[in-house]
Amino acid sequence: MILGNLNSHRGKTLVKWCEDNKVELCFTPAYGSWANPIEAHFGPLREFVLNNSNYKNHAALSRAIHAYLRWRNANTRDPRVLELERKKRAQMRGEAQRRWGHPKRKAA
């Protein structure tokens, strides 16, 4: 399971559960959102559900997010979503100035 470096992700209860259920925890580097594969999915979620929205309450927002997730799971190869994911990945790599499989650049 890939996780960020929050302290709550390293709690005794969680670590014990993972050991009991043979789940390996893999922590992304600090300030390394570009390394977490789930981050690319937040761009399309933001674009299709959150941008230019004005939900009356949290329940309405929750329904919209769940509806999007149901649609997304049924349309895994939708070109609009794939394009937004590619853009989000490129943006994250650009902000970190990193590419997969390439070492961090050394200062001149």
Lowest mean pLDDT among 19-23, 35-39, 57-61: 35-39
Position 7 pLDDT exceeds 80: no
Q: Are 52 and 18 members of one domain?
A: no
- Whether 102 and 73 map to the same domain: the answer is yes
Residue 42, pLDDT above cutoff 70: yes
Q: Tell me, what's the pLDDT at 92?
A: 72
Same domain, 18 and 55: no
Q: Examine the domain organization and report whether 50 and 90 are in the same domain.
A: yes
Question: In this structure, are 47 and 99 located in the same domain?
Answer: yes
Say how many domains are in the chain.
Answer: 2
Predicted pLDDT of residue 101: 56
Domain that residue 60 falls in:
38-108
pLDDT of residue 95: 64
CB burial string 9-41: b at 16+ within 10 A, e below: eeeeeeeeeeeeeeeeeebbeeeeebbbeebbe
On whether both 52 and 74 belong to a single domain, the answer is yes
